[in-house]
Amino acid sequence: MSDAARPITVHDPTLRDGHHAVRHQLGREQLRAYAAAADAARVPVVEVGHGNGLGASSLQVGRARLADDEMLSVVREALAHSKMAVFMLPGWGSAKDLRRAVGHGADLVRIGTHCTEADLAERHLGELRADGVEAHGVLLMSHMAEPDRLAEECVKLVGYGACGVGILDSSGHYLPADVTARIAAIRAAVDVPVMFHGHNNLGMAVANSVAAADAGAHIIDACARGFGAGAGNTQLEVVVPVLERLGYRTGIDLYKLLDAADIAERELMPAPPTIDSVAVVSGLSGVFSGFKARVLDISRREGVDPRDVFFELGRRQAVAGQEDLIVDVAAALAAKD
Amino acid sequence: MSDAARPITVHDPTLRDGHHAVRHQLGREQLRAYAAAADAARVPVVEVGHGNGLGASSLQVGRARLADDEMLSVVREALAHSKMAVFMLPGWGSAKDLRRAVGHGADLVRIGTHCTEADLAERHLGELRADGVEAHGVLLMSHMAEPDRLAEECVKLVGYGACGVGILDSSGHYLPADVTARIAAIRAAVDVPVMFHGHNNLGMAVANSVAAADAGAHIIDACARGFGAGAGNTQLEVVVPVLERLGYRTGIDLYKLLDAADIAERELMPAPPTIDSVAVVSGLSGVFSGFKARVLDISRREGVDPRDVFFELGRRQAVAGQEDLIVDVAAALAAKD
């Protein structure tokens, strides 16, 4: 493969993205046990927090069992080698949340925005940069923008102060060639490390992550057993040995990583994520899997096929926050029947 | 992608390979429900039987709940459009088993051998050909042979009478480039349809199947929800829309396929397969996942790490039937400690 022996930084959001799968209910001992195991395996970065990031715990998206401060304190204490990362979506979290997280020892801050709205990260990235904090800007639902547009948004993020950029395949829509085109465009446009974060709706999370690395990505996100919303994320203990076999260096101890994944399966989750039929449709239609419960509910009420609703939402380019569209789409489909 | 709009025949061994995951205990109503659903979705071929094929039900590899004849009768009755296929490993099954299966309406017979032992299929393929039965020869543990050797074995199979050939990634070891090289070599050597059968130990079953199609494979094996031994097979209802998105034609109805997969998850399996740590090691080491229980057992007794045992078995090129090697390897590792 290209770029043999190139180092790859694996970034592990098990304790943040995985939170979506357990309604943000992880407790202190769970965080401690997994963070310590990931640290022992020398996973370079461990991200922690509410699934929607700092400050997001709320009735609307779910109250976390622990406050942000508690999560950060527990994980900070468990990490001797790994960096601790946090995630923040402007609007859900605030500059105050960021300051508190840095105060609790966050080494790396990611500011996430919709893929065409990098400007929402401007102020936060500027302030973090001024404070000397390592801050990255990352783009959600990135399949909704073409490679050139993503590259432009990443150039903006770097201009705002980001010392790393990246794209999330939030709805698990990509096939490898899609990732190759986007990472290559971003690599050609910026000089900072580039990240790829995959979801497994189409069974392609590992292959997409390899495509990202082959296209020049420096940072690969992956979660133990794929622990994450819906069909889950790129499976950490799978992608690491696959990358190593292809000639990349991760610096991670395989046996200790497998041990950490066993701990994650036993301690964090009722069961590892699998790809159910709704996840397939969500991935194909490019609709955020967080819509699932409401789509099923509203479709039942309107007597329409939830799969039709997903595909129509995809055609209308629905994004998180536009849950009202579900009702419109379902009603329109019902009227057509 | 290459070969856009090329037809692909999807072959569905859910009711045969999936049997491994439930100790061959599927009952009549389970077979009937899934076969009818796959038929309704227009899955071209439905394979049924004991996990190890015709005649394999035994104390050694597990007694099936139903006799071969019963399984075939139930599935035959449920299929209006799909072909019914059976699988046979010479030694486990006999010419008599094949004749009975054909008598029960099997449309397609696969004879499987270890990847370097095509000659064991000679007599059976010849007899089936003489009887006018559609018979394919398929090579197990195919990662243990180089592309050229696999091509030579496939040429032999065609010479014996096979009107289709293929390779199984029995231990889930392949990455896409490995599949590309092997399918391309086989395509260049024979003029009959070529098949690829993937397992998901390294999270690559879907990507490997796409690589096979892109390299010219005509037949792709896949199971509902990946139902199969260990980490499971290529997930049927995922690979079908992925292939369609890449421009291949499968002739399968997506919604009815998703319904069939839902039925499979509900009726056939305790839970869909996931990739556990042993599956990762089994895939990396290239050792048949059927060794798992004995490796864990013997490793515990000898006080050695089962992962070391797997990797050493891989180095020694252990194949199914060589379970005695496990004891030797574990003892050698214990002595070294």
**What is the mean pLDDT for each group of 10 consecutive residues in chain B (337 residues)?**
76 97 96 98 98 94 95 98 98 97 98 97 98 97 97 98 98 98 98 98 98 98 95 97 98 98 98 96 91 91 95 90 88 91
**B184, B216 contact by CB (below 8 A):** yes
Residues of B in contact with A275 (CB under 8 A): 225, 235, 238, 272
The count of other CB atoms within 10 Å of the CB of residue A124 is 24
The mean per-residue pLDDT over the stretch A220-232 comes to 96
Q: For the domain bounded by A277-336, which CATH number is listed?
A: 1.10.8.60
- What local confidence, expressed as pLDDT, does residue B289 receive? 76
pLDDT value of position B4: 52
String of b and e for A84-93 (b: at least 16 CB within 10 Å)?
Answer: bbbbbbbebb
Which of the residues of A are catalytic? 20
- Beta-sheet pairing, A194-197 with A219-221: parallel
Residue B262 contacts A, CB cutoff 8 Å? yes
In chain A, % of residues over pLDDT 70: 99
Residues of A in contact with B200 (CB under 8 A): 203
Average pLDDT of span A247-272: 98
d(CA B336, nearest CA chain A) in Å:
19
Inter-chain touch A277–B284, beta carbons under 8 Å: no
pLDDT value at A212 more than 60: yes
Query: pLDDT at residue A261 above 80?
Result: yes
pLDDT at position A4 is: 52
**Are the beta carbons of A271 and B275 separated by less than 8 Å?**
no
As given in the structure block, the two tokens for residue B162 are: 């096979």
Burial A17-41 (b: 16+ CB within 10 A, else e): bbbbbbebebeeebbebbbbbbbbb
pLDDT, tens digit, 9 for 90 and up, residues A278-290: 999 999 999 987 7
Arithmetic mean of pLDDT, A33-44: 98
Q: Mark yes or no for CB contact B262/A277 under 8 Å.
A: yes
* Mean predicted confidence (pLDDT) in A36-54: 98
Q: Is B261 on the interface with A (CB under 8 A)?
A: yes
Binding site annotation covers A197? yes
From chain A, the residues in CB contact with B271 under 8 A are 271, 274
Q: Report chain A's terminal Cα–Cα distance, integer Å.
A: 51
- Average pLDDT value for residue range A253-272: 98
pLDDT at B109: 98
CB contact under 8 A, A237 and B277: yes
Picking from A202, A271, A276, the nearest residue to B242 by CB comes out as A202
Domain spans, chain A: 9-267, 277-336
DSSP letter (8 states) at residue A191:
S
Residue A138 has pLDDT above 90, yes or no: yes
Which residues on neighbouring strands pair with residue B91, listed in sequence order? none
Cβ of B277 within 8 Å of Cβ of A262? The answer is yes
Q: Which class for B152: exposed (0-12), middle (13-18), buried (19 or more C-beta within 10 A)?
A: middle
Report the distance separating Cα A48 and Cα A265, nearest Å.
17
Report how far Cα B301 is from the mean position of its chain's Cα atoms.
32
Tell me the pairing of strands A219-221 and B134-140: unpaired
Q: How many Cα atoms are found within 13 Å in the side-chain-facing hemisphere of B283?
A: 30
B190-237 residue pLDDT tens? 999 999 999 999 999 999 999 999 999 999 999 999 999 889 999 999
Q: Is pLDDT of A106 > 80?
A: yes
Task: Retrieve residue A260's tokens.
Answer: 């950490």
Residues 6+ apart with CB under 8 A from A116: A144, A145, A149, A153
A256/B contact by beta carbon, under 8 A: no
For residue B210, the chain A residues in CB contact (below 8 A) are 175
Summarize the annotated binding site of B for Mn(2+) as residue ranges. Answer: 17, 197, 199
Nearest to B202 among A206, A258, A274 (CB): A206
Task: Give the span between the Cα atoms of A321 and B216, in whole angstroms.
Answer: 43
**Six token digits for residue A64:** 């976390």
What CATH number was assigned to the domain covering residues B9-267?
3.20.20.70
For residue A210, which residues of chain B lie inside 8 Å, CB to CB?
175
- Considering only the beta carbons, identify the residue of B234, B245, B275 that sits closest to A175: B245
Is the model's pLDDT at A171 over the cut of 50? yes
Sign of torsion over alpha carbons A68, A69, A71, A75: positive
ipTM of predicted complex? 0.96
**Does B280 reach chain A within 8 Å, measured CB to CB?**
yes
Tracing tokens 């465009």 back to the chain, one arrives at: A185
Average pLDDT value for chain A: 96
What is the average pLDDT score of chain B? 96
